[in-house]
Copies of this chain bind each other. A is one copy, B any other.
Amino acid sequence: TKRYRITLLPGDGIGSEILAVTTAVMKEVGQQLDLQFDFQEALIGGAAIDATGNPLPDETLATCKDSDAVLLAAIGGYKWDNLPNAQRPERGLLGLRAGLGLFANLRPAQILPQLIDASTLKREVVEGVDIMVVRELTGGVYFGQPKGIFAEESGAKRGVNTMVYTEAEIDRIGRVAFETAQKRSKRLCSVDKANVLEVSQLWRDRISALAPNYSDVELTHMYVDNAAMQLVRNPKQFDTIVTGNLFGDILSDAAAMLTGSIGMLPSASLGASGPGVFEPVHGSAPDIAGQDKANPLAQVLSAAMMLRYGLNEPEAGDRLEQAVQTVLNQGYRTGDIYSEGMTAVGCRAMGDALFTAL
């Protein structure tokens, strides 16, 4: 029996409901494949603020570091929306990324044939869309110094953030992106704003300099404004996209929404070594929390990414993904992805269906 220590971070809102379903199906898969998962729970986000005053208690970070992988649900909610920025739930997430050195964020945006009608785009435009956004996650304008709100001599204020990348930061995310593209359709599009920003010029130069080491990958470059357009115009042109932290935040969300069902999308955040963090793209949905209405499938697919990329157990990941396909084919739908003629289920019932499918 192989054993894995998994830290669970339910966070806020629907977090604990979707994690409950996910750990149940993981246990089942574990039994089938002789894997044992030791789950330990820790606080993050609003729940951590309420309990400790800190969105990322030291203990939580220590627990995460001491595990093989971290499964995060979702953080935030109305309740904490009026706190000053430095004390808000999101800070827990940024702190976790920095604390674990999670520089590579993988965000797939894949159209599921069963849910294609949920897209606001025409069927022929989105059919077959399968994009992987590789977003740099611990650099750029999110973390650059100096930053703050400063008073000028006159007393007037200036808000300042610094968008900065070093060669080493660009190279390491570039390598992840090329390797990701190699496992996919071997097309990599690097997105920047090199016609205006010096930081993007360096980005473009370094990404280009890596290309000869990955001669099987076709590299192209695109400006971020054009990329936002092209995602709407013809998303099928993209396979793997690599970009900085801020552009990746924007473009991965735009790409996700092309599918029309962000309740289905997982993500992975990886470092050079140590545990990765795996979480759904959707938020904590405080409006439906505690009502057994949440869609647990993105969380389950995040666990599949964890098994594949974090624990190197691709067979177990496959089984979870297969189970998700099966319940969709059987017509089970939570409210967010419901359409006429399907079988409406709640969060727990969806979990039961997954269990049966396994």
Binding site for B on A (CB under 8 A): 85, 88, 90, 94, 120-122, 125, 141-142, 144, 147-149, 152, 156-168, 193-203, 224-226, 228-234, 246-247, 249-254, 256-258, 260, 262
Contacts and interface: CB of A to CB of B under 8 A. Distances in A.
A187 B36 CA distance: 54
B229 A254 contact: yes
A282 B190 CA distance: 22
Given A195-B90, A228-B228, A166 B161 contact: no
Contacts of A201: 85, 149, 159
Nearest to A224: B250
A246 B244 CA distance: 14
Nearest to A200: B159
A270 to B, nearest CB: 20
Nearest to A146: B162
Given A159-B164, A250-B250, 11 more contacts: A88-B195, A147-B198, A149-B202, A159-B165, A159-B166, A225-B252, A226-B253, A228-B250, A228-B253, A229-B254, A230-B257
Contacts of A120: 121-122, 125, 232-234
B125 A152 contact: no
Nearest to A194: B85
13 contacts: A120-B122, A144-B160, A148-B198, A152-B166, A158-B165, A158-B166, A159-B202, A160-B162, A160-B163, A193-B249, A229-B256, A232-B257, A247-B250
Contact of A232 (B122, B141, B196, B258): B258
Nearest 3 A/B pairs, CB to CB: A159-B202, A159-B199, A228-B254
Contacts of A164: 158-161
A257 B229 CA distance: 6
A230 B229 CA distance: 14
Contacts of A94: 196
A161 B225 contact: no
Nearest to A168: B156
Contacts of A253: 225-226, 228-229
A148 B257 CA distance: 34
Contacts of A121: 120-122, 232
A200 B247 CA distance: 16
Contacts of A148: 198
Contacts of A125: 120
Contacts of A142: 196-197
A271 B162 CA distance: 27
A285 to B, nearest CB: 14
Contacts of A224: 249-250
B162 A203 contact: no
B246 A233 contact: no
A120 B254 CA distance: 14
A166 B155 CA distance: 11
Given A196-B90, A232-B254, A157 B166 contact: yes
